[in-house]
A and B are shown apart, each in its own frame.
Chain A
Amino acid sequence: AQSVTQLGSHVSVSEGALVLLRCNYSSSVPPYLFWYVQYPNQGLQLLLKYTSAATLVKGINGFEAEFKKSETSFHLTKPSAHMSDAAEYFCAVSSSGGSNYKLTFGKGTLLTVNP
C-alpha cells in the first residue's frame, strides 16, 4: 500500500519569498513521485517527477524537489514566489513495479501569494 501526506492544507507566502510545500510518502516498493499543480477550474499539470534517477529534480516554472529516502520526503520548493504561482498543489505517488497504474494523491496544498 502507498500513501502521501501533505503537511499544511494552506500555505501563504509573500511575493518574492521562498515557497516550501511538504510531502511525505509511504510505499512498500521504490516509488515514483510527482508534483502536480491545478489552477482554478483547470486540469492538473505536471510540475516535476522523480523516477529513481537524480534525487534533486528540476521542474517547470522554477520549481524543484528533492527526494530524501531516509526521510521519506519529496518537498517542493521555489526560491522566489510569483503571483502566478497561486494554485492548488498535489503530491502523488505510484509504485515502480507491478501494477503501477495507480496514482495516490495527497489531499493538496493551496498556495496563496500575497503582493
Chain B
Amino acid sequence: DTEVTQTPKHLVMGMTNKKSLKCEQHMGHRAMYWYKQKAKKPPELMFVYSYEKLSINESVPSRFSPECPNSSLLNLHLHALQPEDSALYLCASSRTRGGQTYNEQFFGPGTRLTVL
C-alpha cells in the first residue's frame, strides 16, 4: 500500500464551525506533514510530525490545530477559520532514517476547503 488517503475530499464550513481533516497512511512512515496550497501556487508547509511528535510549526495561526494520534493518522482540527483560509490542504508522509527525515514525500489527494 503506497497510498496516502485524506477525508473529506471537499469541505464547506462557516467561520464559526469546528471541523477536522483526516489523513492516513500505511506505509510505515514516521514523518507526516500538512501543507496548504492556494490556487496556482506551490504547497506551503504548515506542520511536520516526526515519530508522532510535532517537530515543525511554520508559524501557523492557532485556529489550525494538528494532532497525530498514532503513527498512521494525522488530523488537522479547524476552528474559527477565515475566508482566506480557503485552499487545498495536502497531507504527505515520508520515511525517516536514523532519526532524520528522508525527504521523498508521498502526497494525498488533498481536501478542498471553502470557508464562507
**Residues of chain A having any CB pair with chain B under 8 Å:** 32, 34, 36, 41-46, 49, 90, 94, 97-103, 105-108, 110
User: Closest 3 CB pairs between A and B?
Assistant: A101-B101, A105-B42, A43-B107
Quote the shortest CB–CB distance from A48 to chain B (angstroms). 10
Say whether chain A's binding surface is mostly helix, strand, loop, or mixed: loop
Tell me if A100 and B104 are in contact (CB < 8 A): no
Tell me if A100 and B103 are in contact (CB < 8 A): yes
Nearest residue, chain A, Cβ from B103: A94
Return chain B residues, CB-CB under 8 Å to A105.
42-43
Nearest residue, chain A, Cβ from B112: A41
Stretch from B13-21, B48-56, B64-72, B77-85 forming part of the interface with A: B48-56
Given contacts A41-B110, A101-B94, A105-B43, 13 further A-B contacts (CB under 8 A): A34-B103, A42-B109, A43-B6, A46-B106, A98-B100, A100-B102, A100-B103, A101-B31, A101-B101, A103-B105, A105-B42, A106-B42, A108-B42
**Residues of chain B having any CB pair with chain A under 8 Å:** 4, 6, 31, 33, 40-43, 45, 48, 50, 55-56, 88, 90, 92, 94, 100-110, 112
Say whether chain B's binding surface is mostly helix, strand, loop, or mixed: strand
Number of residue pairs across A and B with beta carbons under 8 Å?
62
Return chain A residues, CB-CB under 8 Å to B31.
101
Tell me if B106 and A103 are in contact (CB < 8 A): no
Pick from A34, A100, A107: contact of B41, CB below 8 A: A107
Q: Which of B33, B42, B43, B100 has most A Cβ within 10 Å?
A: B42
- Bound-complex Cα distance A98 to B107 (A): 23
